[in-house]
Chains A and B, each alone.
Chain A
Amino acid sequence: MVQPADLVCKDITKDFNDFRAVDHVSFEVPQGSFFSILGPSGCGKTTLLRMIAGFQFPTSGDLLIKGKSMIDVGPNKRPASMVFQHLALFPMMNIGRNVGFGLRQRGVDAAEIKERVGRVLERVGLPGVENRQVDQLSGGQKQRVAIARCMVLEPDVLLLDEPLGALDLKLREHMKIELKSLQAEFNTTFVYITHDQSEALVMSDNIAVMNKGRFDQVGTAKDLYYEPANAFVAGFVGDANKFEGTITMIDGAAASLETKGGLVLRGQVSSGTPAVGQRAQIFVRPEAIELSKTPIDPVDHPNARAHIVDSVLFNGANSLVVLRDPKSGETIKATLPQIGDFLRLSKGETVFSNWHPQQARCFAIEDS
């Protein structure tokens, strides 16, 4: 049986005067899944979320929650609740009254409110905090109260507006895992917006990458990371080395690109094959680059070349080494293996690097 999607957006557009914030966006979120909208600030993701919540109305298009159109339905009548960026817990009420606010608005009787508030606080792991004040809780606890305040209403869709942004790094890492397990526990559809790609990659079932009001790509974390649809997605999701140059040769899916400095690189074309002579970009992930202390045969390995170590960026397991091409002077970042000779790699040493053309993506530069 095919379940109807909890949230369906059909061709949604939002204009502010002469600025188009959201441009013909369509997507579906199946029941019980974690959907993230990832994009840089100003890409329109907040506007999109506020339209789903009902604080703004689309200029055109339709929005359905559980199959019912939400156009002309106020935010207080929609089966969607929102966790705000700064949580927006009511400081004038204690935790119990905060969580019970929505139930009071629905006219649920006091005894039942008390019971349901107690139950939801237990589920988010904060039993018995009803009588505390908002400022007596830590950042992570407030986060959970904000989620409990929405979940007590049993919404069909829970919207989250970068709620982890204000937390410190350690707590953020912890809350990522916790949010994911809360989502599994409640089995509610989560729509999460963020500009932090690691939040999106870790938690989501599906991610939409948004840029300039449009969805550039919708897919799983792995899809976005390994099969980016365009240059923006390749550059925005994960770390990547970017080279710009002119296409010198096309051979099936393989392309050769020559940079300004005369560096010739091989990569794979995925969509919109560029023509010879056209300007293009090649993206290579730092972890796709293989390092060696001995020369690599350039006949079988078109991307093999000798580099000089420019600097070592030590960051534990995520350490990087910046390599400089002696001829063109271009630099490339590679993951530094924490084994053997590479442990004591220092500036000025010669290192041989190589990557498989299939692990590099080549995109034509669209003339704008």
Chain B
Amino acid sequence: MVSDRSKLGFYLLLSPLLLWLVTLIILPHVGLFFVSISEKVGVREYEIGFGNYAVFFNEPLYWRTFARTAVMSILTTGLTLLLGFPIAYYIAKLMRGRVKTTLFLMCLIPFWVSELVRTFGWMILLRETGVLSNFLQYIGLIEGPVEFLYNDAAIMVGLVYTSILFMIVPLVTTLDSLDDSLIEAGYDLGGTGLSILREIVIPHAMPGIVSGCIVVFMLSLGNYLTPILLGGKDSLWFTDLIYTQFITRFNWELGSAFGFLLLGLSSAIVFAGLKLSRQSLTNTMGR
């Protein structure tokens, strides 16, 4: 009797998760997969085949955009890590008590505003008539107005900015759990700042680094808003191609194929990253 009731409770609690997974993740993907393998042969006539995938590999624009998106996302991840690590170390190890909480909250404040508004903020700063351009003219570094928007650097800035929080949070958590006496012991035994960072701090923070990198990489790869707004028409971000196929070209078949290729790409890169850093997914996400 009791075990029956507890079983019922278990399934009741599980059902929202199952519903969410099945109706919002699995069913659409199965549907998309079938769309992606149907080739249009005539009006409302479809055949099963991998023609849509072949289009991707035969058209250089498509797979170059694809590769560019991947490389830029990896660069963004690396840059975010480089910027986020010192910030996280500062918050977790050098600050105490209320200052620590305040600083941590201050990292969060920009996220109270929608991503669209934050991206427009960068546009105000970087556009031809924007703050940066005007300031540089004012101090006499440049002659006329300069457009800082619509290039790869602007995309990178935007991507790092939107995703840095997701790097800082796991890093602060793992660095917080590093016992200060380990760092002191390192110094006591003759270690220098650099060797302690390499031998003690980074190995300890590895799960946080990897989980932060996975999240940031996924967010950058799948980001649509930031590359389009800051990169303009020439941003050539893969999500933009998918959008175009679905909305502008009404070519759902090709769009679905692109979607699956993106899924495959992100999974492959995350897998490679885990193998390279010798971490397991359970170890990094389970913390």
Q: Mark B158-199, 1 if CB is under 8 A from A, else 0.
A: 000000000000000000000101101111111110010001
Contact, CB under 8 Å: B189 / A81: yes
Known: A92-B200, A93-B199, A101-B199. Contact between A150 and B189, CB under 8 A?
yes
Question: Which of B185, B189, B191 has the largest number of chain A CB atoms within 10 A?
Answer: B189
Q: Considering only CB atoms and an 8 Å cut-off, how many residues of chain A contact the other chain? A: 25
Q: Is A53 an interface residue (CB 8 A)?
A: yes
Which of A82-90, A343-351, A357-365 is found at the contact surface with chain B? Answer: A82-90
Q: Mark B186-229, 1 if CB is under 8 A from A, else 0.
A: 11111110010001100110000000000000000000000000
Known: A92-B200, A105-B195. Contact between A82 and B188, CB under 8 A?
yes
Known: A92-B200, A92-B204, A105-B195. Contact between A153 and B189, CB under 8 A?
yes
Contact, CB under 8 Å: A90 / B182: yes
Residues A66-88 near B (CB distance < 8 A): 74-77, 81-82, 84-86, 88
Query: B174 to nearest A CB, angstroms?
Result: 12
Q: Is A170 an interface residue (CB 8 A)?
A: no
- Complex-state Cα separation, A149 to B182, whole angstroms: 13
Contact, CB under 8 Å: B187 / A76: yes
Q: Considering only CB atoms and an 8 Å cut-off, how many residues of chain B contact the other chain? A: 17
Set A75, A77, A91, A105: member contacting B184, Cβ < 8 A: A75
Query: B175 to nearest A CB, angstroms?
Result: 14
Q: Is A186 an interface residue (CB 8 A)?
A: no
- Complex-state Cα separation, A76 to B185, whole angstroms: 9
- Complex-state Cα separation, A90 to B203, whole angstroms: 10
Contact, CB under 8 Å: B181 / A86: yes
Hey, which chain B residues are within 8 Å of A84, CB to CB? 181, 184-185
- Complex-state Cα separation, A86 to B200, whole angstroms: 16
- Complex-state Cα separation, A104 to B187, whole angstroms: 13
Contact, CB under 8 Å: B191 / A101: yes
Hey, which chain A residues are within 8 Å of B179, CB to CB? 86, 88
The chain B residues found within 8 Å of chain A, CB to CB, are: 179, 181-182, 184-192, 195, 199-200, 203-204
9 cross-chain CB contacts under 8 A: A81-B188, A82-B184, A91-B204, A93-B199, A102-B190, A104-B195, A105-B192, A105-B195, A150-B189
Top 3 closest A-B pairs, CB basis? A102-B189, A92-B203, A88-B185
